[in-house]
Amino acid sequence: MKTRIFWVLLLLLGLAAPAATQTPEAPFQVTTLQNGMDIIVIENHTVPLVTIEIAARNGSFTESPEYDGLSHLYEHMFFKANKQIPNQEAYLARTRELGMVFNGTTSEERVDYFFTLHKDSLRPGMVFMKNAIRYPLFLPEEMQRENQVVIGEFDRNEASPYYNVYRALEKKLWYYYSRKNPLGQRDVILSATPEKMRTIQHRYYVPNNCALLIAGDVQADRVFSMAKQLYGDWQRSPDPFQEYPVPAQPPLNATTDTVVVQPVNVSMLMIGWHGPKALDDVKSTFAADVFSFILGQKTSQFQKNLVDSGIALQADLSYYTQQHTGPIMATLVSTPGNVLKAKQAFMDELTRFTDPDYFSDEQLETAKTLLEVDAIYNQEKASDYVSTVSFWWAVTGLDYYRDYFTNLRAVTRQDIVNYVNRYLIGKPHVIAALVNTKTKQQLQLTEGSLVK
């Protein structure tokens, strides 16, 4: 397991939405069952395969500290016993009978589960998915075994020096850290109970908080009809985000830092800011995507001044689109002795981001074109593209994604300047340094030394 409307006549099917269409920019069709469950179909007849995915608006953003990581554990328990499947062994036997590959992911604002199998197995695959999503048993003995599997993920992540510096930064970046921590906390995982799993199920695994996505060699009208038959009697529940609203992350009040010591041969700096909330500042989210792409090109001033100069071995700036405050992250890798020089060089570079000649009109237009090409290329493989669609469904809603290309093409130089001024230049941030013991001693790195 792993831890971003359209109209055709469907009234005869008895579905709640009157119609569904697709466009070249959004090659999927959507309708909504009367219980509020969105059904999304991506037709791709290249190969005789189909991917069945269920996405839920769940993840770490729903978790108070006592639930930190339980959306992730829930993802693991999805592939276990349910009303029709007595245990995990029977579950795996059924996957072999259907000839399918399967997996799931948990992130901050979405959890998804997906099966890929032959198109002839579409209906049994949808039945199998229905039983898993609606009728999990959470057997105590299976939970105890799966706890250790999740703890194994902790062990693998914590063995990476880069995970440790990232986690140290995140703990300072977010006041409500559990809301941004999909992996979770060890003690919470180990003390999890079936009752807590059922709490998550009853709050978030309800039809009006889920989408069923079918991608591949299928016909949309057949899928819509089948979805109504199989999922139409699933009872709507209260909106979980009205009953359990997600608290807003308080803004950073000051710049802080942290130093993480690990046995590494290079040093790394991570610098984090609070970025746009996707639905509150749509323009900035697209400006962030375009600007990050410009900075990532080898011909950019950013790369020339930081990497080609020899100050850093690698440098980038990224934004992660989220409804509940997306982070902006700068990453710089340097030789151990250059870590402070790299930090200062980046901060100097930051002040130049709004210079009129920092990037050319040609670089701006090229970035928009290549981002669009990459997005279109992602549509080619249905089993991958379905995950892209479910991400945008969960995080921003499909209207945002349907207008993605239009908004991308509309990004101007002034939009980028506004984004940089609003979220980066002069704004509080968190600096995390990953160094070895020798470097820490030689450079006298202590808490506070990186913010001077």
What tens digit of pLDDT does each residue of 34-90 get? 999 999 999 999 999 999 999 999 999 999 999 999 999 999 999 999 999 999 999
What's the pLDDT score for residue 147?
A: 93
Domain residue extents for the chain: 11-243, 256-443
Within 10 A of 110 (CB to CB), how many other CB atoms are there? 24
Please tell me if the domain spanning 11-243 has the same topology as the one spanning 256-443: yes
pLDDT at 284 over 80: yes
Between CA 336 and CA 345, with CA 341 as vertex, the angle to 5 degrees is 135
What's the pLDDT score for residue 447?
A: 87
What's the pLDDT score for residue 4?
A: 32
> What distance in Å separates the CA atoms of residue 354 and residue 332, rounded to the nearest whole number?
20
> Average pLDDT, stretch 277-291?
97
> Average pLDDT, stretch 138-153?
95
User: Alpha helix locations (H) across 81-193?
Assistant: 88-98, 122-134, 140-158, 161-173, 186-190
What's the pLDDT score for residue 25?
A: 62
pLDDT at 14 over 80: no
- Per-residue tokens: 437: 């013991």
The partner residues of 113 in beta bridges, in order of sequence, read 54, 104
Percent of the chain with pLDDT over 90: 93
Within 10 A of 290 (CB to CB), how many other CB atoms are there? 25
* Distance from the first to the final alpha carbon of the chain: 42
- Per-residue tokens: 18: 């009157």
- Per-residue tokens: 99: 């000839």
Q: How far is CA 174 from CA 35, 275, 280, 446, in A?
A: 35, 12, 19, 21
What's the pLDDT score for residue 309?
A: 96
Strands 256-261 and 49-56: unpaired
Say how many residues make up the chain. 452
List all residues 6 or more positions away from 376 whose beta carbon is below 8 Å from its beta carbon.
none
List all residues 6 or more positions away from 245 whose beta carbon is below 8 Å from its beta carbon.
none
Superfamily grouping for domain 256-443: Metalloenzyme, LuxS/M16 peptidase-like (3.30.830.10)
- Per-residue tokens: 438: 């020798």
Rounded to the nearest integer, the mean pLDDT of the chain is 93
CATH class in words for 11-243 = alpha beta
- In this prediction the pTM is 0.92
Q: What is the pLDDT of residues 387-420, one digit of tens each?
A: 999 999 999 999 999 999 999 999 999 999 999 9
Summarize the chain as % helix, strand, coil (round to 5). 45, 15, 35
> Average pLDDT, stretch 98-119?
97
Within 10 A of 59 (CB to CB), how many other CB atoms are there? 25
Q: Residue 423: which of 242, 223, 287, 226 has the closest Cα?
A: 287
Strands 210-216 and 38-43: parallel
In contact, 210 and 227? CB cutoff 8 Å = no
In contact, 115 and 133? CB cutoff 8 Å = no
More confident residue, 24 or 166: 166
